[in-house]
């Protein structure tokens, strides 16, 4: 049986499966982060009391950065875009989507031929060969 086309506002079955696998992986990572941060934050608080440092806030920043990287609700798309990862930091969502795309391509046999080398290598070599001093 083949999948019937889904209405524009509803995801296809394969998208739902993909999103739930990614969401479950992200939930697992968030849980690991929480378990790891519990003793770290307690130890940091003890260090802050003893030495008067701000280690606890460094641990909090680490947790916040990890949370932004995981981007748990990235499948919501534009709705979650305002609170997503910033700048050059590639989120886990991007990495998992790339992995899922690769798995789907292999499963569908879409990658019969190897990818061509990047054009930038050829472009970079051409000017150096034709340069002349003058």
Instruction: Judge whether residue 28 has pLDDT over 80.
Output: yes
- For every residue of 66-90, DSSP letters joined together read HHHHH-TTGGGGGGGGGGS--TT--
Instruction: Judge whether residue 4 has pLDDT over 50.
Output: yes
Rounded mean pLDDT, 53-64: 93
Q: Please state the pTM of the whole predicted model.
A: 0.54
Rounded mean pLDDT, 68-73: 87
Rounded mean pLDDT, 34-47: 95
Rounded mean pLDDT, 33-51: 94
Query: Coil, strand or helix: which one is 11?
Result: coil
- Report pLDDT for 113: 55
Residue 52, sorted as left (phi over 0), alpha (psi -120 to 50) or beta, turns out to be left
CA distance 17 to 102: 15
- Report pLDDT for 84: 47
Rounded mean pLDDT, 27-36: 94
């Amino acid at each position: 049986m083949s999948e019937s086309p889904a209405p524009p506002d509803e995801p296809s079955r394969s998208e739902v499966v993909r999103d739930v696998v990614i969401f479950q992986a992200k939930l697992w990572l968030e849980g690991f982060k929480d378990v790891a941060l519990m003793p770290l934050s307690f130890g940091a608080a003890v260090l802050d009391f003893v030495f008067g440092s701000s280690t606890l806030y460094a641990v909090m920043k680490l947790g916040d950065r990890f949370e932004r990287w995981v981007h748990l609700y990235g499948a919501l798309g534009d709705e979650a875009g305002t609170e997503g990862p910033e700048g050059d930091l590639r989120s886990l969502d991007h990495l998992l989507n790339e992995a899922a795309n690769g798995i789907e391509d292999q499963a569908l046999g879409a990658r019969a031929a190897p990818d061509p080398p990047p054009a930038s290598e050829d472009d970079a070599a051409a000017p150096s060969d034709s340069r002349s001093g003058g």
